[in-house]
Every structure is written in structure tokens, then in C-alpha cells.
Structure 1
Amino acid sequence: MQFKDYYETLGVEPSAGDAEIKTAYRRMARKYHPDVSKEAGAEERFKAVNEAYEALRDPDKRAAYDQLRARGYRPGDDVQPPPGGFGAGHGGVDFEEIFAGGGAGGGFSDFFESMFGRGRGGPGAAGYGAHSGARPGPRGPADTRAKLAVPLETIYSGDSVRIGLNGKTLDVRVPKGVREGQVIRLAGLGNNGGNLLLEVEYAAHPQFEVDGRNVIHMLPVAPWEAALGATVSVPTLGGAVELKIPANSEAGRKLRLRGRGLPGNPADGDQIVELEVLAPNPQSDAQRAAYEAMRDAFGDGWRRA
């Protein structure tokens, strides 16, 4: 099993704070998203970026990873988990984690799974009962707790997610609009016929962040779109929609798409679109000439406007 440098993957220093790691993740995930990028190997890079963020965004995971990295491993070095798994002796995490297939949390490497668990090789290396708070009684039924990382699209639609459990594949129905921390109960699938209690958490997403029932999306726009106004396609959890950008918009302006957030009771959340004004690099003489014309037309007085 090969060591992975998650800081290098995201292009940040090991001393980077949470905000810097989140910003780097969003930038790289957007760059390599399979629906956007045409670069060779973009899908693999996208998966690697998601895996790195999953490891570093959680304080417990990051602390465990940092302890291993401090031993001097470099990318590609062979690493063998110690008896009991990497989680032994550092506090680990309170729950095993089950990552739903098909979302940003799925398809992680053997290295990640050995560090943090996916039903094998994780903390305790004893299956989903390890570090799970199962009730005493080795021979009788016991409830087993696990975390279920669910893609935001599934939270929005209320579909099923596919998980692996002790060599079996299960389709778990996720209630529409379920909140983080709520528990899905699967009768008879815990230890010795007990219940499996899946605590829902939202999987990291390259395009959206969650604030209560609202969903936040950073939308890159060109300077002329912000200045002159434009109608652009914007991704939402329910599919792309057209959004009108008012003229004279500035970076940081927030536009609201009502009802496009997470479902809720009594009302659905909204999608908040925050404008990020980006100047594309000129790729031709004509484009460079256009920038020169803008420079001549505006001068430097706009800084004092």
C-alpha cells in the first residue's frame, strides 16, 4: 500500500488552516470536475482531490494522518498498517464510516480505507462494531453505529445510496431532506442481529456548501459579465438553471435561487449564488488586444472610483 501526501495533492502546506484547505479543494475540484475538465486524467485527479479533502477536513482524521506523515513517508513509499490498524493509539474516530457509492465520498484508495476504515482495515480492524458504541453482550444482539456520508444530490432528491457491509451490497433509502446527525435504522444488520444505526453526514461537494437548509455556490463570472450583465447557466442540486446577473455586479454579490436548497419543513432552503469575478488569461493576439483596449479605455482611475 502506497503512502499518499494529501497536502501535496491539494497544493497546500501542512500548516494550512481549514479555510485555506477548503479554498484549495474547491479550486482544484472545479478544475478537474469530469463534467467540466477536458484534461487527460482529470477524473483520477478529481478523485484524488476529493480523497485528500475528506482526510484533511475532519480534525480527527487530519490528526491521525499527520502522525503517520511525521514518520517521514513520501508519496509512493510502501506503508503497512500496524496491528489494530492506524487508528489504534491516537484516539481515532468515534464511528466507522460508510461512504455512499457514486458520490464525492466514494471510491477511496486502500491507503485511505486502512487509515480511516470502510468496513475493513479501519480503526480496530474488527468491522463496524469497532469504536461504535455497541452495547455490551458479546453473544447477544447489539446495536452498531456508523456514519453514512451521503452526496448532497441524494439529500435533495431522497434516493437510495449503495453501501458495502461485511461483503454484502445494500441499497439504503435516504429520506428527502434528512439533516446531518439524524439516524437511519436498519433492523437486524448490526452485531449478532442487532440494529445498524447510520448517522447521516453530508459528503463534501466540489460545487456546493451547506448553511442550514441553504446551499451556497461560488459562481465564476467574467469581468464583462459582471459589468454589463449576463444570463448564465448555474448548477443546482436539481440540475442546471439560467440565472440573470444584473449589470454593475461586483465580486461577492449574492443572488438567491429560491427553493433550490435542501428540502425542509415548513419550507425548502434556497441556493445562494456568490459571484466570483475572474479575468481569463488571453489566449490569442485578439484577446490580448481586447485587454489593451480595456486598459486604454479605463486607465487607472477605476481604482479610485
Structure 2
Amino acid sequence: MAPSRDFYATLGVARDVSADDMQRAYRKLARTYHPDVNKDPGAEERFKDISEAYDVLSDPEQRHRYDAFGPDFRDVPPDVDPQARARAGADGGRTRGSRGERGGRARRGGGPPEDVYTRSGGFQDIDFESMFGGVFGGRSDGGFGPIPGADQEAEIELTVEEAHTGGRRTVTLSGPDGSRTLNVTIPPGVTDGQRIRLSGQGGRGGDGATDGDLYLVVRLAPHPRYRVAGRDITATLPLTPWEAALGASVAVETPAGEARVRVPAGTPSGRRLRLAGRGLPNPRGRPGDLYAEARIMVPPEPSDEERRLFEQLAAVSTFDPRGQ
């Protein structure tokens, strides 16, 4: 597919974009498609298109002429009035040839500036030092110098208790340059999928450029007692038949330690009893809740006395759970 001659579309910005927003869009695209970073075969041509578009639109005079005359603005003499040309027709007043551009550069046949990309394969005069604040440093040989390290991701598996309380963890990561061990601070209340940023621990920058960041993606390990949804935790609450029938105050385990919950009389199996604020903490707001989910248990091997009492209950009770 031929590249778009709409310079605004090339940069992915609206026609009324501000200079600052356009510069940010250009920086993002240049970082992505710069041939020293992106080895995709089409990245080089894409980078040239992006550079040409920004070269024109970042210059107020050229942008004004581009807005007035379109992609062929270079073929229109400087003294042509946009309104007069529009009245004369799309072909009126059009002159072939080259005209002086910003900084004394010339364009041939309406193409990109020749000193942006040379046939030897080097990008020559785009001032990345000023555009990227030193991210791409100019070298005396006309090429590009320091390239920042790439951000990286790795997963870290935590128990629900570790996610709740936080603390220190030692993490060993394997990579192309071997293994390395990091001491990581886990903030209290991290949730599944949350990222922990380790500044400067990502890919190494070249020629003294800044290193990238490492993002540890939290994964909560399956737990035999807890189920986690966001910051809410559901814990199984085993109950005896008489606790469920008569009501009781019983202990329930939480990631922060033991708590007590009041079981109303007549609690059925599966009922959830809420303990407000006892879920995962939230450093920036309301903590999650803990739900104690009732599960009625019976003695696996009842004693003779227990069996006698159950038989006595069965004889006098009119309760029919299947008839409800």
C-alpha cells in the first residue's frame, strides 16, 4: 500500500493539532520506527514518511502552505495567493521546480528532503538531540548514538497473604545475558494483574543512554482457602449443623489473621457473611471486603452418642429440605 500523502494522517493527528501534541506524536512514532531500533523491513520507509511529515508541519510557514495547497505545495511559487489559485483552478499557477526550504534544504520533484536519508543508509541531519532531549545523541560520523534501553515485563507469583501484607521478595530473572537476582518491595494490597515498576531494571541502554524499566506483573497463586475477585476475598467458613441451626460466633481465618464472625440462626450452606474492609487493602481508597461462605459439615464418623442424638432429631423434626 502506498504511503499516505496526508501528513496529518501520517503522524496520526488532527488538522488542528497543537505544536506540542504534534511533537509528542512524532516522538512516539520515531522511537517506534527508527531503523536503529526497529529491524522490520518496512520500518525504514515508514520512518522517512514520518520525518518528512513532521519536517513540514513543524514549520509554521510550510504548514500554512501545506494546508492551503495540499501535498503539492512545493510546486506552487511563494507569491501565489491561496484564494487566487483556488479561483484559477487546481492546475492554475502551478510551476514545476524546486524552492528553498527551511534551513536551506531543497527538495527535488516534490520528494522528501535529500539530506534526511542518504543512499549509503545513514540518517544525516534530523536533530534528535534536541527532539528527544538526548535520547538519540548526535555523533561526529553523522549517525545516531545512545539509544535508551527497552522496558521489559516479567511475572511474579504471590500468595494471597503476600499480596495482602506486602513485604520483601527475592526474584531471580533469566535472560539472554544470564540470570540476575533482585530484591523487590511488594506494596501491601497488590491485585492480580497489577504491575510493579522497577526503575532502571529493564533493557540496558546503549552508549550511556538510560536503562529501561522492569515491570513485574502480579499473578496470585491458587489458594486452598481463599478466592479473590479484585480486592474482595471469599473464605470458606466450615460450620457444624448446630452452629448453622442455632447461630454462633465463630472464628474465621483471613489473610491478616483470625477474625470472628456472627453466624445468624438458620444459616444455610452457601450463605455469605460480609466482614467489611477485611479484604485486600487499598493504599488509595476503600479496602476490599472479606466474605465468609458457610459450608455445613457433619461428623465423618459420628460417635455412638452423636448418632443417638441425630436419630432423636430425625424422629422429632418435620423439616424437609427437599420440600422447600
TM-score under structure 1 length normalisation: 0.49
Higher relative contact order (CA 8 A, sep 6+): 1
Which structure has the greater CA radius of gyration? 2
